Structure 1
Amino acid sequence: CAVVGDDLPGLAAAADAAGSTRVAQVRDLAAAADARADVVFVSLAPRAENLSEVVADTRALVHAWSSDERFGTARLVLVTRGSALAPSGANPVHAAAWGVMRTAMAEHPGRFVLVDTDDHEDSAGALCAAVAAGEPESSVCAGRVRVPRLARAFPPVAVALPAFDPEGTVLVTGRADGLGGTVVRHLVAKHGARRLVLATGPDDEPGRTADGEPWPTPVPDVRSAAIELAEPEADITVSHCDPADRDALADLLANHPVSAVVHTTGDPTGLWHLHELTRDRNLAAFVAFSAIGGILGAPGAPERAAHAAYADAVIRRRRTEGHPATSLAWGPWAGDASAVGDTERVWFKRNAIGELTPDEGLALLDTTRGSDDAVLVPAALDAFALRGRAVDGVPAALRDLIPTTADPSGVETTEGPAASGRTSTLRRRLAALSPLEQQRFVLDLVREEAAGVLGHATPAAVTASRAFRELGFTSLASIALRNHLTAATGVALPVTVAFDHPTPAALADFLRDELVGTPREDRFPHPAANVVDTDEPIAIVGIGCRYPGGIHNPEDLWRLIAAGGDAASEFPTDRGWDLAALFAADPDRPGTSHTRMGGFLHDAGDFDAGFFGISPREALAMDPQQRLLLETSWEAMEHAGIAPAALRGADVGVFAGMMFHDYATGLDRVPDGIEGYRGTGSAGSVVSGRVSYSFGFEGPAVTVDTACSSSLVALHLAAQALRRGECSMALAGGVAVMATPSVFVEFSRQNALSPDGRCKAFAASADGTGWGEGVGVLLLERLSDARRGGRRVLAVVRGSAVNQDGASNGLTAPSGPAQQRVIRRALAGAGLSVGDVDVVEAHGTG
């Protein structure tokens, strides 16, 4: 083991005697990792008193531990004094650290342990014994070990309740349109309260939900809140007082004969001030609303769990001082958007903790009055459903509430005989299956665990080919999936496994390979990294294209060329262009084009988003150039007789030329639901990256913008990458769709635009350029690989070259000598001379 710091004298001495690692400070945890310690003890400083600092430091400790793979099979033991389990609740700040650590334990089962202890001479040995026993939480006092378990306090039935003192005032804290207002109404209607003060905080300002979204309902001001809460038989005062402001709270208490307090906000500072300022008052009741996350952890919300655990400890402390006090650690309420985030809600559902309706919650509030227990947990627990999950281990605090055959420790780790046995059993079972059956078996396992993490009733909701992000996985959910798969298989998986293998199918492939011992590289037995042949010809084995005139494949293009057809057309009518104002015969009129003609893809907006697993909202945010490149890339592979799925995980490169970047640039307001997708939807870099992502290619992904030569340069780069062994196959080409007419306007001002929208290169009638759209994609392989694979070779690229004109006659003016040089270089690279050339195809802008 390893011990961090000197605050644990008994443990430190034992570690020294055993030759174990001693680490001076938490930031030196790496020393413990290097020593391969299986248990590391960290002590929270006994004098730690600043709540915010303790919470921040504990969160940092959790992050450092959980993000370091060297600690993957080790346990971190946080040792506190007088915190969550101390009968007196002597140190609420230490209890807050328990809330953070309980959250970490929920997110990373088996990685963390909590022990609360004292300085008794027998406690160090008992502490080690408690940790060795596998209990995730324990308290050691004078050498005796206790473990925390929840028990049913009383049946949820009606009880006789004493009426509130009619001469006293009930102080309620909370929002007028939230729990504060709800409790005020309930106390008046059901408990006979006649004088109440609702402390809403400054201006009762709109709050935020657990996920950071604005509170969904309007917030009334104090005057309207008072009117809304008015009761004919009750005197209700609504105050701006914030209990976190000690002086303001003292003034409020001085002006009202408060006889009972109900603190609903969960604010720890306000709770402490209420506790201090009412000690000398003979209160009939002091109720603090806490949260079950302080006891079980709150995945995704460690700070809220810390505040809840702090509140529970304050109440215990108040009880030991002889004052009435009750903490209600509520389970989630239906519709209470501020209390539970999505990640926490999924975790609750997985652990059979449902939502309370407002009526159920208020009824439970009634039954808690007069209880002798300091901390109560009003929650909707489905014990039957939880019993069904016992085989996977349940939160330690819940184990006495259900019959279970789970291991007493409740946590399955990835070390020791149990994990080894699970792995061996699973490997033997897989060995008896065919490769296809193995794949299906492991995929079913991954989908079942994924469904459980997301809270789905069946694995049917988990599509094998969809990315975990698209299925709804957050970072925490991904870690939870890793933990459950580790527990189910005994394989120590990295915390990044769901990111490294981002679909259930990919993760199942990886897990199967880990279990049956198949090397990953065997899936692609001819890695390109060893291939370096600068003279290797590059074969074109597949083509995908869309061009004006309804051309959707190479055969359509050839028919148009052979017939001498003309695919020019008038401006499209579905792009929001002001066609009436756009055209002007005068080439000098600002803001206009002196042609109505061009080569357009009139169906550029059509896209089968579902085919590629893309949501309608994301598809709308995507530049049509991204959509077209996806479709034609698929068609190029299909044209070559290759199933795209067969290349997933292969080192296929994507090289795309693109010169128009104006999609959605003219929007004054982004449509609802599009924000968050617009950046990737319009970024040029994503044009190539999305192809690689969608098909699972792991070769280079490069977007090129060299204006009219973009596609040729992309082809050149692809050929170079293939020859250097950077990829074994490549998609190369380009795409052009004009989302705005700006290029027509710009070239009209330059007098460089042909009035009829057609280029007439090398003709005496040449009068400017014509603009057109299209997409073309070539599937490329080294010629030797294409022949080895039995591909149909459509053409061969033997050489190519790229340069720049340099200081020519103008920024956009060509340089004859520079172009001659690049042609000679391409011929030399191909091993050809000028005399070998039969046909020259040239690009001309008129």
Structure 2
Amino acid sequence: MSYAQVNSGAGRDTTSAEDVTAFLRTSVAALLDVTPESVDTGRPLRDLGLDSMRIVSLVAALSQHLDRPVPGWVVWQYPTITALAAHLAGTAPLPAAPAAPVRAEDGEPIAVVGLGCRLPGGVDTPEQLWQALTDGLDAVREVPADRWNVHEWLDPDPRAPGRMNTRWGGFLDDVSRFDAELFRISPAEARHMDPQQRMALEVAWAALEDARIVPGSLSGSRTGVFLGAMAQEYHLATGADPEAIGTHSAVGWDNSVIPARIAYTLGLQGPVMAVATACSSSLTATHLAVQSLRRGESDLALAGGVNVMLHPHTTVAMTKFGGMNPDGQCRAFDAGAAGYVRGEGAGVVVLRRLSDALAAGDRVYAVIRGTAVNNDGASNGLTAPNPQAQADVVRAAWQDAGVQPRDVSYVEAHGTGTLLGDPVEAEALGTVFAEGRTENLRLGSAKTNFGHLEPAAGVVGLLKTALALHHGELPASLHFDEPNPHIDFERNRLSVVAEHQPWPAAPRRYAGVSGFGFGGTNAHVALEEAPDRRRTLRPLTADGEQALQDSVTALTGGTTASGGAPASGGAPASGGAPASGGAPASGGAP
């Protein structure tokens, strides 16, 4: 049956969801030249393959079929056949009035309740990441053949035109893998999607599952997405052929769509933005997420970053910039520091106001107490670091946290292993943390494990530090053989964590994470270990004093707070009930 034949009938006086569904299904099938049975009524019309012109003609035909005007906007408000039919039949539930934003108390801590990652060395889960860190994994390897022919691009002379001086990088396995069907993305659209979009979507999904939140349950929620991204190389990697540009290319290539893709897939309606401040992008994104949660713009937030190396041009450019270590190591704070090695992957943290996380019984890996962002301003060149600005941003984050710098025991440093960057960072850290210390500030850098993930580097450090706080241990920073002679470790009260070690217990464990962009944007995140859930207050009600006392006794296992035992109840320190939004989901990233 042709599309014209489908729409040749007279108008209908009755409107039922079944009638509208049948009409739309048959009409869409005619437009797409498929059988009506193959039309998925739960997918948006656009995803089924209808462009704007065909959607407009479909609405016109629907108006004729129903013998009443159907405004064009309803297809965007109700994008699936099922939703549109229910609306036109009057059976769709009225949209609930949005809840008033919940503005947090000034400086309320933010809980890290979920982690997601995909990193070099086959690291796809938080558990695998912690194992890699404790094992001292060095995931750097030669450029794989599916990226570019390293021999054609390699020259040990960094001045050689159009050549790179390194064969190394932190590369992922099978970067093209993607379960498009799970996300209801057509094969044609998936082919035009930058792998950074695909990976960010998968890792965000996995992070929500790690937080015990069913991703699909968040539709319509005030959930924000803040993701760092930089280079766009997919069109170069696919040949830059103008004849290959298709309907989905504009969306597939645009970095601003990376977080938008997550929001669209899950129906999230909080703030959504891509952040590009170079190597500080993902920590700047985290800063914005924390602000959004505190302001009440978001009730839940995803923050992180993604980076994929698909074409040699960026590595060539960084060779000319003078940043690459030809030996393929980030030797943070070491005498052999000679540049960094590039890395790729993605990391996402799920964030919630601490009061909400405790009320929901969430597992809390760590708590963000404060954040800060600033810029170097006019330093000794656009890309030259400014030690005073770095010190200022670190100090501001701990002021936001309300914590004295002398109480901070660890900093996950920017730590690239560059000749200039490491001494500047060490001096800035000493300026903030040296005074009044009883023991040295410990330093480390996940770049020594996975390479420098550039816009995603900060969130990798955040993941590492959250896990270290969670386990009470400090993983080793690799490739540290001899202290950099240009750093006064003694005066600055600094030491590098060269071996895996227990994290000494203090009244509270505090740690910072730094990220400095080569355009001058600096970010620092102040972390605290998760609260002792055994001491979480739990409200109790009873119909009398004795009943209340009996409840307290039962809750505390026979001892009361007055007897010196822990105060009333609380959720366990780990695990706990599912977060709001659903029961624990099985499996990992798709």
Alignment equivalent of 2:23, drawn from 437, 444, 449: 449
CA distance in 2, matches of 1:499, 1:690: 17
Q: Deviations over 1:226-259 (max 9, x none)?
A: xxxxxxxxxxxxxxxxxxxxxxxxxxxxxxxxxx
- Mark the CA change 1:473 to 1:449 in structure 2 (over 3 Å): closer, same or farther: farther
Give secondary structure in 1 for the equivalent of 2:274: strand
CA distance in 1, matches of 2:54, 2:238: 36
Q: Deviations over 1:619-665 (max 9, x none)?
A: 12111111100111111111112111111122221111012212213
1:707 Cα deviation (Å)?
Answer: 0.7
Q: Deviations over 1:284-338 (max 9, x none)?
A: xxxxxxxxxxxxxxxxxxxxxxxxxxxxxxxxxxxxxxxxxxxxxxxxxxxxxxx
Residue 24 of structure 1 corresponds to: none
Residue 636 of structure 1 corresponds to: 207
2:166–2:325: 8 Å Cα contact kept in structure 1?
A: yes
Alignment equivalent of 1:521, drawn from 88, 92, 96: 96
Residue 718 of structure 1 corresponds to: 289
1:666 Cα deviation (Å)?
Answer: 5.9
Q: Which runs of 5 or more residues in structure 2 are unaligned?
A: 418-590
Residue 4 of structure 2 corresponds to: 348
1:758 Cα deviation (Å)?
Answer: 1.2
Give secondary structure in 1 for the equivalent of 2:251: helix
1:185-584 matches, cutoff 5 A: 347-351=3-7, 394-395=9-10, 410=11, 412=13, 442=17, 447-455=21-29, 460-475=37-52, 478=55, 494-507=71-84, 514-515=90-91, 518-521=93-96, 527=99, 529-575=101-147, 577-584=148-155
Letter in 1 for 2:138: D
- Higher radius of gyration, 1 or 2: 1
- Mark the CA change 1:784 to 1:661 in structure 2 (over 3 Å): closer, same or farther: same
1:446 Cα deviation (Å)?
Answer: 5.3
CA distance in 1, matches of 2:42, 2:407: 49
Give secondary structure in 2 for the equivalent of 1:706: coil
Q: Which has the higher helix share?
A: 1
Residue 675 of structure 1 corresponds to: 246
Q: Deviations over 1:37-63 (max 9, x none)?
A: xxxxxxxxxxxxxxxxxxxxxxxxxxx
CA distance in 2, matches of 1:488, 1:651: 37
Letter in 1 for 2:96: E
1:477 Cα deviation (Å)?
Answer: 5.0
Letter in 1 for 2:72: V
1:783 Cα deviation (Å)?
Answer: 1.7
- Mark the CA change 1:732 to 1:528 in structure 2 (over 3 Å): closer, same or farther: farther
1:822 Cα deviation (Å)?
Answer: 0.9
1:528 Cα deviation (Å)?
Answer: 5.5
Letter in 1 for 2:101: A
* More contact order relative to length (CA 8 Å, sep ≥ 6): 2
Letter in 2 for 1:567: A
CA distance in 1, matches of 2:68, 2:126: 50
1:772 Cα deviation (Å)?
Answer: 0.6
1:585 aligns with 2:156: yes
CA RMSD of aligned residues (A): 2.8
1:835 Cα deviation (Å)?
Answer: 2.4
Residue 778 of structure 1 corresponds to: 349
Alignment equivalent of 2:192, drawn from 621, 632, 635: 621
- Mark the CA change 1:666 to 1:541 in structure 2 (over 3 Å): closer, same or farther: closer
- Mark the CA change 1:673 to 1:571 in structure 2 (over 3 Å): closer, same or farther: closer
2:29–2:36: 8 Å Cα contact kept in structure 1?
A: no
1:651–1:727: 8 Å Cα contact kept in structure 2?
A: yes
1:453–1:477: 8 Å Cα contact kept in structure 2?
A: no
1:548–1:600: 8 Å Cα contact kept in structure 2?
A: yes
1:449 Cα deviation (Å)?
Answer: 3.1
Give the TM-score normalised by the residue count of structure 2. 0.65
1:733-812 matches, cutoff 5 A: 733-812=304-383
Give secondary structure in 2 for the equivalent of 1:798: strand
617-626 or 666-675, which deviates more: 666-675
1:684 aligns with 2:255: yes
1:461 Cα deviation (Å)?
Answer: 2.4
1:769 Cα deviation (Å)?
Answer: 1.3
Letter in 2 for 1:462: V
Q: Deviations over 1:136-175 (max 9, x none)?
A: xxxxxxxxxxxxxxxxxxxxxxxxxxxxxxxxxxxxxxxx
- Mark the CA change 1:460 to 1:672 in structure 2 (over 3 Å): closer, same or farther: farther
2:29–2:39: 8 Å Cα contact kept in structure 1?
A: no
CA distance in 2, matches of 1:649, 1:346: 37
CA distance in 1, matches of 2:102, 2:319: 52
Letter in 2 for 1:776: G
Q: Deviations over 1:773-815 (max 9, x none)?
A: 1100111112222223332222211210100000011111111
1:637–1:643: 8 Å Cα contact kept in structure 2?
A: yes
- Mark the CA change 1:476 to 1:452 in structure 2 (over 3 Å): closer, same or farther: farther
- Mark the CA change 1:630 to 1:571 in structure 2 (over 3 Å): closer, same or farther: same
- Mark the CA change 1:507 to 1:545 in structure 2 (over 3 Å): closer, same or farther: farther
Q: Deviations over 1:45-82 (max 9, x none)?
A: xxxxxxxxxxxxxxxxxxxxxxxxxxxxxxxxxxxxxx
614-623 or 482-491, which deviates more: 482-491
Give secondary structure in 1 for the equivalent of 2:282: helix
CA distance in 2, matches of 1:770, 1:648: 39
1:699 aligns with 2:275: no
1:582–1:593: 8 Å Cα contact kept in structure 2?
A: yes
1:566 Cα deviation (Å)?
Answer: 0.8
- Mark the CA change 1:581 to 1:474 in structure 2 (over 3 Å): closer, same or farther: closer
Q: Percent identity, aligned pairs only?
A: 44
CA distance in 1, matches of 2:356, 2:69: 38
- Mark the CA change 1:464 to 1:838 in structure 2 (over 3 Å): closer, same or farther: farther
1:455 Cα deviation (Å)?
Answer: 4.2
Letter in 1 for 2:236: T
1:699 Cα deviation (Å)?
Answer: 1.5
CA distance in 2, matches of 1:465, 1:411: 24
1:818 Cα deviation (Å)?
Answer: 0.7
- Mark the CA change 1:491 to 1:820 in structure 2 (over 3 Å): closer, same or farther: farther
Give secondary structure in 1 for the equivalent of 2:351: strand
1:346–1:454: 8 Å Cα contact kept in structure 2?
A: no
Letter in 2 for 1:740: H
Residue 709 of structure 1 corresponds to: 280
2:7–2:61: 8 Å Cα contact kept in structure 1?
A: no
1:50-199 matches, cutoff 5 A: none
Q: Deviations over 1:441-498 (max 9, x none)?
A: x5x5654232132245975322133221122434465456657877999998643111
CA distance in 1, matches of 2:160, 2:100: 56
Residue 655 of structure 1 corresponds to: 226
Residue 180 of structure 2 corresponds to: 609
Q: Deviations over 1:350-396 (max 9, x none)?
A: 046xxxxxxxxxxxxxxxxxxxxxxxxxxxxxxxxxxxxxxxxx34x
CA distance in 1, matches of 2:244, 2:82: 29
Residue 598 of structure 1 corresponds to: 169
1:768 Cα deviation (Å)?
Answer: 0.8
Alignment equivalent of 1:820, drawn from 366, 388, 391: 391
CA distance in 2, matches of 1:491, 1:655: 43
1:349–1:455: 8 Å Cα contact kept in structure 2?
A: no
